[in-house]
Amino acid sequence: MKYLHLLNFSLIILFSACNSNKELKEMYLDKNLPVDKRVELLLNTMTLDEKIGQMCQYVGEPSKSEVKNVDEEVQYELDLGETAELIKQSKIGSFLKVPTYKEANYLQKMAEESRLKIPLLIATDAIHGHGMYQEPITIYPTEIGMAASFDTDLANKVAKYTAAEMRATGYHWTFSPNIEIARDGRWGRFGETFGEDPLLVSEMGKAMIEGYQGDNFGDSVNVIACAKHFVGGGISSNGLNGAAADISERTLHEIFFPPFIEAIKSNVYTIMPAHNEINGIPCHAHHTYLSKLMRDTWDFKGFYVSDWMDIERLETVHKVAASQKEAAKLAVLAGLDVHMQGPGFFDHVKELVNEGAIPEKVINESVRKILYAKFQLGLFENRYVNATKIKNTLMKKEHLDLALEVAQKSMVLLKNEANILPLSKQLNSIFITGPNANSQALLGDWSRNQPDENITTVIEGIRTKMSATTKIDFMECESYHSYSDNFMEEAKKRAKSSDVTIVAVGENSIRFDKDKTSAENLDRPILELAGQQLELVKALVSSGKPVIVVLINGGPIASPWLVENVAGIIEAWEPGMYGGQAIADVIFGDYNPGGKLPITIPRSVGHIQNFYNQKPSAFHRGCFFQSSSEALFEFGFGLSYTQFKYSNLKVKNSFTSDDIVTINLTIENNGELGGDEVVLIYINDIVSSVTTPVKKLVSFDRLHLEPKEKKEFTFDISSNSFKMFNQAMDYVIEPGEFEIIIGNNIIVSTILYE
């Protein structure tokens, strides 16, 4: 991807020789000129106010006033208040939380009235679909479910289709993907990550970045991606969002940095620092990381945007600045380019530049990157959208089909006692209950509630599967928290009179829902089912009839009792708008589940941190009181309705640093159903100069085999996968033997590095 570079001296002299501002305008508005030349032309005619304005982001969703009897545009300008005048003065460069395309168009209209007519960037948290838009939209499964599919092509398509719906509605910039490593299940944002493994997170993140941005975000259906949050939010103190993270440099380089390195290699154009401090330095003021590491070492070419009001928190929370003005100085000199959000920042930065505390060349570098994005997106030529394009883009058939496919592929079958699943569609009776049985909680965080007719809930999905002779008994259960004795007795009675019970339990993280149990800034003190949900399941099990538990959740549900006592467990994550259909497809065998866990599920909150790539000493002495130290379910676990057999592992005996290690493997579907198998390939450095994980994922793929089909598959592993950070923190391959581990120790071989 070609990014903005400085023009040579002769070109600058040539363009600055223009005789008037009018000529300059005519030149930077010439779409036939290269983007970098247009940027320089525009930058050279901008005032300091106009430059700093590009660094300022505001909210576009104001509180509605009580003014009546005015047209829609006038009303919106009145609602914006002073913000409207700031737009016309070019003192705002971007907006977030803009309600719909009508408001986006109006904001652009005001920007076009400014002296230089610089368009606005309209941004939103389109994490798994354009879910914050205030009209019906396609909602896909959340990232943790996408990760469970182990299918990067799906993630790429989700991002591509999301970008198309964004651009159709006037949005250009998504604060996605979240490529933090999640290592604490208490964290309420767990569901918007791709899990605990650096390779999986990196590959899924790269796929989404490329889906959002295309080759160079120069197409009318591309948006700018934002890799967030750098760094350590997924392992913060007490699992609390924004709390301090204390992580060794070794662990940062081994675990937390790789997804961001890969994002930069994939040309991600924006990066958002984390709320938290990292080893004593707030991420929003971390010059060493933001400028020296990410720009100078990793070659990040795009721009940084602060997270919500986190520049202000350098003073109010972290106490590393004595004033808001000093906070702005620390952030800008550390490398921050855009402030989210609101007034104050503009005035502070202008004062600091006039005082010489911030060189104007620092401002120029930030503005160059921002202007490049606006030119490259084509906003100077096409800043407005129309209703016709929206109608032809939103919720297209291929978008909806993808929402169902991702939901299906995200399903993980955790337990299937005596092969109770799939259920027969000819049952005499079935009982369905639970707080998530008829709820839009399956949409997950960063989604607004959608029209009921656009969502398939669990009960709705099940109803489409059953024969006309089956009695479907549904008992509404609205609360996640408490149930009366009468409710419990009635549920038990109805379970006892049915052939089987399906209970949908878990979490609710949907944005703006009053009954949320987890989400951003709502972290979990326990990993068990919230409230009295477990007591409800126990009452249903006590009926003596089989119980199938459907988990709808973002973070892990650590419940040994469920694993030991219910007949079947389906981990559905937060499966999006067609989640109910995908769940029903799995329950009744119309889809054979093939997802695998992208996280380790611990036995309890007391077992945090429990992840698959532990160091060898993690559990070598002692154990937990009255509890096993083993995970409830390990990363990569997932059952199927068929059986896969691995054989004929072929790998050469040795390799060098120039080699690609080729692994040949035969996989056979021994069952009667076609199905997907996720193949996971790990390595273990048997003896090393510093401790290394007991195993490290180096490759994965999702494969489909028809009944009785047998195939040989080839996996090519780069020699870089065998590298580690030695005692001097050099990234090297140390001579010696490595284990090649297929799946959960299905086949193990050794290979020598010479």
pLDDT band at 10 (very low <50, low <70, confident <90, very high): very low
Q: Strand pairing of 429-433 and 500-506?
A: parallel
What's the confidence (pLDDT) of residue 620? 77
Q: For residues 446 and 193, is the Cβ–Cβ distance under 8 A? A: no
- Does the bond joining 5 to the residue before it have cis omega, within 30 degrees of 0? no
* Region of residue 31 (left: phi > 0; alpha: psi -120 to 50; beta: else): alpha
Q: What DSSP letter does each residue of 128-140 carry, written as one string?
A: SBSTTSSS---BP
Q: Say if residue 731's pLDDT is above 90.
A: yes
Tell me: the pLDDT tens digits for 99-134? 999 999 999 999 999 999 999 999 999 999 999 999
Q: Say if residue 220's pLDDT is above 80.
A: yes
Q: What angle do CA 573, 206, 734 make, to 5 degrees?
A: 105
Tell me: the pLDDT tens digits for 147-163? 999 999 999 999 999 99
Q: Say if residue 17's pLDDT is above 50.
A: no
What's the confidence (pLDDT) of residue 11? 42
What's the confidence (pLDDT) of residue 67? 57
- Closest residue by Cα to residue 282 from 336, 239, 325: 336
DSSP tag of 295: I
DSSP tag of 396: -
What's the confidence (pLDDT) of residue 66? 59
What DSSP element (H or E) covers 9?
helix 9-16
Q: Say if residue 1's pLDDT is above 80.
A: no
What's the confidence (pLDDT) of residue 378? 97
What's the confidence (pLDDT) of residue 573? 98
What's the start-to-end Cα distance of the chain, in Å?
Answer: 37
Between 443-447, 549-553, 626-630, the lowest mean confidence (pLDDT) is in: 626-630
Using CA atoms, how far apart are residues 534 and 551, in angstroms rounded to an integer? 12
Residues 6+ apart with CB under 8 A from 197: 181, 598, 612, 613, 635, 697
What's the confidence (pLDDT) of residue 745? 81
Q: What is the mean pLDDT of residues 60-81?
A: 76
Q: Say if residue 22's pLDDT is above 70.
A: no
Q: What is the mean pLDDT of residues 36-52?
A: 97
User: In degrees rounded to 5, what are phi and psi of residue 748?
Assistant: -130, 135
DSSP tag of 228: E
Using CA atoms, how far apart are residues 467 and 423, in angstroms rounded to an integer? 12
User: In degrees rounded to 5, what are phi and psi of residue 407?
Assistant: -60, -45
Q: Say if residue 615's pLDDT is above 70.
A: yes
Q: What is the share, in percent, of the chain residues with pLDDT greater than 90?
A: 89
Read off the pTM: 0.95
What's the confidence (pLDDT) of residue 19? 44
Domains and CATH numbers, the chain: 46-392 (3.20.20.300), 411-607 (3.40.50.1700), 644-753 (2.60.40.10)
What's the confidence (pLDDT) of residue 23? 59
Q: Say if residue 20's pLDDT is above 70.
A: no
Hey, how many other C-beta atoms are within 10 angstroms of the C-beta on 22? 9
Q: What is the mean pLDDT of residues 80-90?
A: 94
